[in-house]
Amino acid sequence: RKEVEQDPGPFNVPEGATVAFNCTYSNSASQSFFWYRQDCRKEPKLLMSVYSSGNEDGRFTAQLNRASQYISLLIRDSKLSDSATYLCVVNPERSQGNLIFGKGTKLSVKP
């Protein structure tokens, strides 16, 4: 089983749509979780951290289910500028600061 697994997509949605991404991780001892955004041939940029209680930042909502080892990202009212690849990222217990990246889910928002 891959350490961090994501649906690669692509997700093609119209502007204004709500889209959800899922991610699973294999290491039950993982300590912290993040969603990053990466544009083509650019560096990843931190979108938000993910907490067990769930957290929201504007149109973005992240959820963590430790029992199921499952992370989600919900984007409401999609904008054209949301088009990018979204990376699920896990910080495993065994190596502080060594983040494990999923392959990413590609989102394309169309007018």
Q: Does 29 bind another protein (CB under 8 A)?
A: no
We find the least distance from the C-beta atom of residue 104 to another protein, in angstroms, to be 6
Q: Does 101 bind another protein (CB under 8 A)?
A: yes
In eight-state DSSP terms, residue 82 is: G
Q: Does 87 bind another protein (CB under 8 A)?
A: yes
Classify residue 4 as exposed, middle or buried by CB count within 10 Å of its CB (0-12, 13-18, 19+): buried
Do 69 and 26 contact (CB within 8 A), yes or no?
yes
Residues that bind another protein (CB under 8 A): 4, 8, 32, 41-46, 87, 91, 96-99, 101-104
